[in-house]
Amino acid sequence: MQHRGWFETGFAFGILALALGTAAAEDELRVVIKDHQFSPSEVKVKANTKLKLIISNEDATAEEFESFSLNREKVVRAGQSITIFLPPLKPGSYDFFGDFHPDTAKGKVIAE
Amino acid sequence: MLGTFIITWRETIEAALIVGILLTYLKKIGQSKQFRFVYWGAFWAVLASLAFAGISEFLSAFLRDIGQDIFEAAILFLATAVLTHMVVWMHHNAREIKGELQQQAELAISKNRLWALATLAFVGVFREGIETVLFLWGLFLQGGRFESVAPPVMGGLLGVGLGVLMTWLFFKGFGHLDLRPFFRVSGMILIFMSAGMLSSGIGKLVAAGLVPPLIEPIWNTSRLLSERSFIGSLVAGIFGYRSSPSLIQVIFYLLYFPITLIWLRRQSHDLAQ
């Protein structure tokens, strides 16, 4: 009986994860890193809407996407891409930068 | 050069702090001969970081979307578990110290504990190691594009060196504390680090879209204390400070303390009986 309990709990969590993952359709936005710069460097998004930010790195070196105001930090390896999920944002400007090249790799998400 | 210096310095300090606490602790309980377990853990972590950065292309499918977040969350949760285990064990040890003004004690340490120590050294270094290796490797690759790659690479390596040196000096002084205050302070540091790691692990799952943030951000203190400032980066490394955390991260951070304290208390009760 106890095994079954565990199994059911796991199953419930699986369903929950699936439900959360697919709960609402997100807006999808793409940003490219090239020559240690983000393009576009200003990403305009709808406020109060879930977002999916896809960041691809076309440089030959790794970069780290980092934003304190968005509370995200993620390495993008050379020639690869990553997906960042963002919650519905309040209207405003959110800075991000490349932690490996903070002087050149700068950008912001503008929610309006 | 300064930019690369600061990045590797910051990563190194966080890793060196864990290794430093472990080494000082072993010395304090008269187990200096077991340093090798900590060195092993740290050494293998450096190798694993190199290997992991090297094989990243083969892991691209795994690391592409949310694989990286899940992997990092798993490492952070492992770190939380091992750190908590350490705290409980240190608390237990602290109770065996009789004299108030003792500098050193002779306490037994089991093989299992030593492996836990090695694991903690491994996790502490590996966590920061992957990033540092990718970063330094990137600097080397840029050699073709810029005039000279030497200054930034030197800066990066100096950052690692200074990070280790600073932590070493810190523990030189910290190690002179008497046993009681030493146990108390290092226990506190580890508990805060552990709560911070638990909360960043949850943050990774939020970023992967697997855990709802509830409210994100719950506050924004970036103007008061930014993680980019010197103090901010130290507070972030040691206490897990985030300027714009999500509510779920704050909940896990805050829940960690009472749960660990209740566990510690129960341990003391068991020992008393």
Name which of B170, B177, B185 is nearest B90 in CA terms.
B185
User: What is d(CA B84, CA B194) in angstroms, rounded to the nearest whole number?
Assistant: 7
Residue B229 has pLDDT above 70, yes or no: yes
CA distances to A111, B3, B218 from B248, in Å: 23, 33, 9
Task: Indicate which of A75, A96, A97, A103 best probes the interface with B, i.e. most B CBs within 10 Å of its own CB.
Answer: A75
Do B226 and B232 touch, CB atoms closer than 8 A? Answer: yes
Residues of B in contact with A80 (CB under 8 A): 60, 63-64
Interface of chain B toward chain A, CB-CB under 8 angstroms: 3, 7, 56-57, 60, 63-66, 68-69, 130-131, 134-135, 137-139, 141-142, 203, 206-213, 216-217, 220, 222, 226-228, 242-246
User: What is d(CA A23, CA B28) in angstroms, rounded to the nearest whole number?
Assistant: 53
**What residue ranges define each of the domains in chain A, with the CATH number in brackets?**
25-111 (2.60.40.420)
Identify the pLDDT of residue A2.
47
Of B63, B203, B210, the CB nearest to A21: B210
The confidence band for B272, taking pLDDT boundaries of 50, 70 and 90, is low
Pick the range with the lowest mean pLDDT from A56-65, B67-76, B213-222, B263-272. B263-272
User: What is d(CA B122, CA B116) in angstroms, rounded to the nearest whole number?
Assistant: 10
Residue type, A81: S
Residue A4 has pLDDT above 60, yes or no: no
The confidence band for B228, taking pLDDT boundaries of 50, 70 and 90, is confident
What are the φ/ψ torsions at residue A74 (nearest 5 degrees)?
Answer: -155, 135
Structure tokens at B169: 């000096």
Do A61 and A100 touch, CB atoms closer than 8 A? Answer: yes
**What ipTM was reported for this prediction?**
0.78
B111-141 and B35-54 are packed helices; what angle lies between their axes, rounded to 10 degrees? 40
User: What is d(CA B123, CA B116) in angstroms, rounded to the nearest whole number?
Assistant: 10
Residue of B nearest to A84 (CA): B207
Question: Based on the number of CB atoms within 10 Å of its own CB, is A54 exposed (0-12), middle (13-18) or buried (19 or more)?
Answer: middle
Do B87 and B264 touch, CB atoms closer than 8 A? Answer: yes
3-state secondary structure of B248: helix
Percent above pLDDT 70 for chain B: 89
Mean of pLDDT values over A89-109: 92
Fill in the DSSP letter of residue A18: H
Q: What is the pLDDT of residues B21-42, one digit of tens each?
A: 999 999 988 899 999 999 999 9
User: What is d(CA A112, CA B114) in angstroms, rounded to the nearest whole number?
Assistant: 54
Check A61 against B138: CB less than 8 A apart.
yes
Identify the pLDDT of residue B267.
76
- Give chain B's mean pLDDT: 86
Using alpha carbons only, give the angle B77, B193, B224 rounded to the nearest 5 degrees: 120
Question: Based on the number of CB atoms within 10 Å of its own CB, is A75 exposed (0-12), middle (13-18) or buried (19 or more)?
Answer: buried
CA distances to B97, B105, B117, B175 from B29, in Å: 10, 5, 14, 12
Residue A65 has pLDDT above 90, yes or no: yes
Structure tokens at B10: 């910051």
Mean of pLDDT values over B242-255: 94
Identify the pLDDT of residue B250.
96
What are the φ/ψ torsions at residue A56 (nearest 5 degrees)?
Answer: -110, 140
Residues of A in contact with B139 (CB under 8 A): 61
Using alpha carbons only, give the angle B42, A67, A105 rounded to the nearest 5 degrees: 90
Q: What is the pLDDT of residues A9-50, one digit of tens each?
A: 666 666 555 555 445 567 889 999 999 999 999 999 999 999
Mean of pLDDT values over A45-74: 92
Do B38 and B15 touch, CB atoms closer than 8 A? Answer: no
The confidence band for B3, taking pLDDT boundaries of 50, 70 and 90, is confident
Identify the pLDDT of residue A1.
43
Q: What is the pLDDT of residues B193-208, one digit of tens each?
A: 999 999 999 999 998 8
The confidence band for B223, taking pLDDT boundaries of 50, 70 and 90, is confident
Do B17 and B83 touch, CB atoms closer than 8 A? Answer: no
B247-272 and B179-207 are packed helices; what angle lies between their axes, rounded to 10 degrees? 140
